[in-house]
Amino acid sequence: CPAPSDLRTINGTRVCAQLYSDDSAYYDDCCGGSVLLVSPGTDMPYMPSGWAAKVSSLVVGTRCQLTVWDRRGKQGHSRSFSA
């Protein structure tokens, strides 16, 4: 997995979080599969098509916080992640 301070797009734009579809019990194999980039200030009350209940691992950038809910539309219990 990338280090939280290394989260940037190819052109250098800052990324607040990267969500991955694949995970593994072995750390070197985590953060695989499809990648969903979360830019600073993004508010997504619903996951994009094909991503609902698919995130297996994530990395949150420095000076960022990612809050997720267990129900659609920001309903239910929430949990926050940071670097």
Is 56 inside any structural domain?
Answer: yes
9 located within any domain: no
Q: Is residue 78 one of the residues assigned to a domain?
A: yes
CB 45 within 8 A of CB 68: no
pLDDT digits (tens, 9 = 90+) for 1-10: 899 999 988 8
In a domain, 51, yes or no: yes
Residues 79/83/34/37 CA torsion (nearest 10 deg): 90
Residue ranges making up the domain that contains 75: 17-82
pTM: 0.83
* Counted domains in the chain: 1
Q: In what order do the strands lie in the sheet with 32-38?
A: 32-38, 17-22, 57-60
Instruction: Note whether residue 34 is domain-resident.
Output: yes
20-66 pLDDT, tens digit each? 998 777 777 788 889 999 999 999 888 888 888 888 889 999 999 99
